[in-house]
Structure 1
Amino acid sequence: MAAVDVENESKHIGKDMPKFDVVYFSRNFPELSQTFVYNEMRGLRDIGVAIHVVAQKQETSSPSDLPKKYGFTDIRYAMEGTGRSNRAKRVSSLLRNLFKLPLKASFRLLLSIAERRGTGNGTPLSTRVILATMLQPKQNRAVIHCHFGTAGLVVAQLKKAGLVDAPLTTVFHGYDLTQFMKDKRADIYDDLLEQADLLLPISDLWHRRLIELGASPQKIRTQRLGIDCSAFRFRERVKRHDAPLRFISVGRMTEKKGHRYVIEAFARLIANKPDLDVRLDMIGDGPLFENIRELADGFMLGHRLVLHGSVQHDEVRTLLNDAHIFVLPSVVAADGDMEGIPVAIMEAMALGLAVISTHHSGIPELVADGRSGLLVPERDVEALCAAMEALAEQPEKIASMGREGRAIIEEHYDERKQAQKLFDALSSIS
């Protein structure tokens, strides 16, 4: 791991370094879409926390290069024993790793084997022992920290089997409380709710949902995601008389992002107000890209609409810097998938853009309706068009909304402040 930057150590910790390490556990690592995880890791490291990463397997289809750029190169994968192997190899692996566990865990495991009690959900015992040893560095006290309930559930089952005794925390984002739970039994998370020491939903909405699922309120703390405010240069957005008003939408083209409603509302805006000088840039790729392209072609919007597809980070930033209004009308997808609190909206607000979005999931906790942006009902094209028209015809509101948005991000969604809040929460259970 990269050396600790003592100069960045938080004032709240005093002269003492943290008394515990944080072990991040992931099902697949490093996934391209989980920038928020890597930023959080960086924030804790800058406070002075030693970070370890353990994953079940390595992400190969869409890996991120951010962990390497941030200096997180000590990543361990519990690959051994995950495939089919003969009995002798599994027994040998089990014996090699058994006594790497904490003494109490080793004793419990031996007792379970002797009494022929179950110790898991069908995963080979040798694999679970390997994973348990990786999650608990013997030389240091550790807190096991998971993003998404699906990862937390894996560790919770190890704790229930007696293989892990370190504190467990889990961050819930949205997918894990919506799409993942569809068609699953109602008690799918019971082991996690019982075994976790802290449950950390990213929004108050998911906080309430965890209570509905039976979690103890004493275990739950809302933990916001954050962005590095210093990396986003605020600029007040002012429309010049000789230049168009620019709308922009950034997001992977999946149903929950609501891209079709952006296009339909923009087309309606142009039909209602043909003299408005407006443009729309849409950035992102994904499974619905061709459907969105066909929809856009059908409206024949010409140069007013550009579908950029997937572009490099620097080009995204350039387009955002040229824009005035960020549009992301998120919806509940047919499979139940929902947003958490979109990081793309946080970044747009940090840059000074006004926001148009929906009353969806945790978005109203981020966007102050009427002050930093406008919120409309999901799938309401007429209301979305009206919001776009209101800001197009009153561009003076854009600047004030941008200032309010930046203030919200600095106060409640700054990466450093959220890292300190997370550190304080982990300290309470370490």
Structure 2
Amino acid sequence: MNIAIFSPSQNPYSETFIQAHKNYLKGSVFYYFGTKARIRLEGAGSLVSKLQILRYRFIRKFKNYSYSYVQEQSVLASLKRHAIDVVLVEYGTHAHHLLPILKQSGLPFVVHFHGYDASVYETLINCNNYQEVFSIASKIIAVSRKMEQMLLTLSCPKGKLVYNVYGPQPEFELVKPNYAKKQFIGIGRFTDKKAPYYTIMAFKEVVAKHPDAQLLLAGDGVLLNMCQNLVKHYGIEKHVQFLGVITPETYRHILSESLAFVQHSITASNGDMEGTPLAVLEASVAGLPVIATNHAGIPDVIIHGQTGLLCDEHDVAGMAKHMLQVFDNVAYARQLGAAGKIHILNHFSMQLHIETLQDILEQVVKDYRL
């Protein structure tokens, strides 16, 4: 099976789930990245020859077609040349923008929603609530139960909708936490929906009782400077480290010596929500308890009181209480972490995620050929 994956950008550090699709799906995978007039095929110099491009340009000018004609025809020619059987589009927004190409190709396609694309109000309006995408797509994938319900509310046909949570990279299964340091780790972009300032506010209460406590926050984003200022305001600069963007290897090392993973996700004012945060799955399968919120897909994969501790969105006092529970009782942290590892391995492993996605794509091709 020849699979074309379309993604808005090439290999961004925060989209390891797309890299997993590239690396683990069976068959020949062709990775197209970029938007508008800048779509490229990874590993190829150009989609078509210079002669073909000149031909498309002549036709566009002669027929007075839109400027997108050359790009669209180049992509279509590339799909045909590589005998693509099925298309997997990462993000609903990208599927909406690719509709002209997807319709002309006549190929079956699957749309994988991830988070903001199913929740941000302005995005939904700009994409006409995905009505045309839902109409012609073969399958729609949601990564959380909350997202599943939201897409149904937008009139996605129930028969096309599939729930399939991400799987953490297998390397995280090998982490053996030793709970050696009195520290928490949080990783992710400093954005409204991850509300890192709430994590800092809760952690301040931990420092009051545990003067040797440490909080490590990895990632980058628009709220980073604000969070740094908040730490200074609280006078806890010696207790909070901002690590910037870190590698998966560094993340696994930090997980191995931390007490818990922390993240206070919320629904942003513009509607932006998580799907199911991959960092949560990675921390849990590594054997660490997860301290987070009842937000989006987090309660789908973390069982409160069994594999982690969850509070309501904006409940800083509740999060501080949960942080103190694992600091005050390391044996309890170990218990939660061990149960979490088993739970993720049994229900949300990378193998299960890829097998489900593979089955979806193969069934779509089979139905298309009938």
Using structure 1 for the length normalisation, give the TM-score.
0.76
| Structure 1 or 2: more helix by fraction | 2
Amino acid at match of 1:281: L
Of the three residues 139, 153, 163, the one matched with 1:198 is 139
Of the three residues 29, 34, 42, the one matched with 2:23 is 42
Is 1:259 matched with 2:196? Answer: yes
Deviation digits for residues 271-313 of structure 1 (CA, Å, limit 9, x no counterpart) = 3x2x564221222222211111110011112432222233444
Is 1:28 matched with 2:13? Answer: no
Secondary structure at the aligned position of 2:292 is classed as strand
How do 1:108-257 residues align onto structure 2 when only pairs under 5 Å count? 124-134=68-78, 136-138=79-81, 140-160=83-103, 163-179=104-120, 181-182=122-123, 184=125, 187-238=128-179, 244-257=181-194
Is 1:269 matched with 2:206? Answer: yes
Distance of aligned partners of 1:344 and 1:231 in 2 relative to their CA distance in 1, 3 Å threshold? closer
Is 1:396 matched with 2:326? Answer: no
How far is 1:413 from its partner?
2.3
Deviation digits for residues 403-424 of structure 1 (CA, Å, limit 9, x no counterpart) = 1111122122222222111111
Is 1:359 matched with 2:326? Answer: no
Amino acid at match of 1:143: V
Gaps of 5+ in 1: 1-19, 61-66, 96-112
How far is 1:201 from its partner?
1.0
Amino acid at match of 1:227: P
Of the three residues 57, 69, 73, the one matched with 2:43 is 73
Superposition RMSD in Å: 3.1
Distance of aligned partners of 1:24 and 1:75 in 2 relative to their CA distance in 1, 3 Å threshold? farther
Secondary structure at the aligned position of 1:221 is classed as strand
2:315 counterpart residue number: 380
How far is 1:173 from its partner?
0.8
Of the three residues 360, 371, 374, the one matched with 2:306 is 371
Distance of aligned partners of 1:237 and 1:296 in 2 relative to their CA distance in 1, 3 Å threshold? same
How far is 1:137 from its partner?
2.7
CA contact (8 A) 2:326 2:332 kept: yes
Secondary structure at the aligned position of 1:303 is classed as coil
Secondary structure at the aligned position of 2:200 is classed as helix
How far is 1:350 from its partner?
1.8
Distance of aligned partners of 1:318 and 1:30 in 2 relative to their CA distance in 1, 3 Å threshold? closer
Distance of aligned partners of 1:76 and 1:35 in 2 relative to their CA distance in 1, 3 Å threshold? farther
Gaps of 5+ in 2: 366-370
Distance of aligned partners of 1:230 and 1:283 in 2 relative to their CA distance in 1, 3 Å threshold? closer
CA contact (8 A) 2:186 2:262 kept: yes
Amino acid at match of 1:146: V
Amino acid at match of 2:191: T
How far is 1:384 from its partner?
1.0
Of the three residues 232, 236, 243, the one matched with 1:297 is 232
Distance of aligned partners of 1:315 and 1:419 in 2 relative to their CA distance in 1, 3 Å threshold? closer
How far is 1:247 from its partner?
1.3
Aligned length: 361
CA contact (8 A) 1:23 1:143 kept: yes
Secondary structure at the aligned position of 1:334 is classed as coil
CA contact (8 A) 1:56 1:78 kept: no
Amino acid at match of 1:124: S
CA contact (8 A) 1:53 1:75 kept: no
CA contact (8 A) 1:320 1:348 kept: yes
Secondary structure at the aligned position of 1:375 is classed as strand
How far is 1:346 from its partner?
1.2
1:109 counterpart residue number: none
- Looking at structure 2, the residues matched to 131 and 394 of structure 1 have their Cα atoms a distance apart, in angstroms, of 57
How far is 1:237 from its partner?
4.3
Distance of aligned partners of 1:398 and 1:206 in 2 relative to their CA distance in 1, 3 Å threshold? same
Amino acid at match of 1:196: A
CA contact (8 A) 1:202 1:224 kept: yes
Distance of aligned partners of 1:183 and 1:146 in 2 relative to their CA distance in 1, 3 Å threshold? closer
Q: Percent of aligned positions with the same letter in both sequences? A: 23
Q: Whose Rg is larger? A: 1
Of the three residues 38, 54, 59, the one matched with 2:32 is 54
1:102 counterpart residue number: none
- Looking at structure 2, the residues matched to 27 and 410 of structure 1 have their Cα atoms a distance apart, in angstroms, of 30
- Looking at structure 2, the residues matched to 212 and 252 of structure 1 have their Cα atoms a distance apart, in angstroms, of 28
- Looking at structure 1, the residues matched to 294 and 176 of structure 2 have their Cα atoms a distance apart, in angstroms, of 26
- Looking at structure 1, the residues matched to 333 and 252 of structure 2 have their Cα atoms a distance apart, in angstroms, of 19
How far is 1:93 from its partner?
6.7
How far is 1:167 from its partner?
0.4
Is 1:306 matched with 2:203? Answer: no
CA contact (8 A) 1:257 1:331 kept: yes
Distance of aligned partners of 1:423 and 1:322 in 2 relative to their CA distance in 1, 3 Å threshold? same
Deviation digits for residues 223-256 of structure 1 (CA, Å, limit 9, x no counterpart) = 22112224542325446xxxx5211111121121
2:57 counterpart residue number: 90
How far is 1:265 from its partner?
0.9
CA contact (8 A) 1:329 1:378 kept: yes
How far is 1:316 from its partner?
3.0
- Looking at structure 1, the residues matched to 109 and 339 of structure 2 have their Cα atoms a distance apart, in angstroms, of 37
Distance of aligned partners of 1:283 and 1:185 in 2 relative to their CA distance in 1, 3 Å threshold? closer
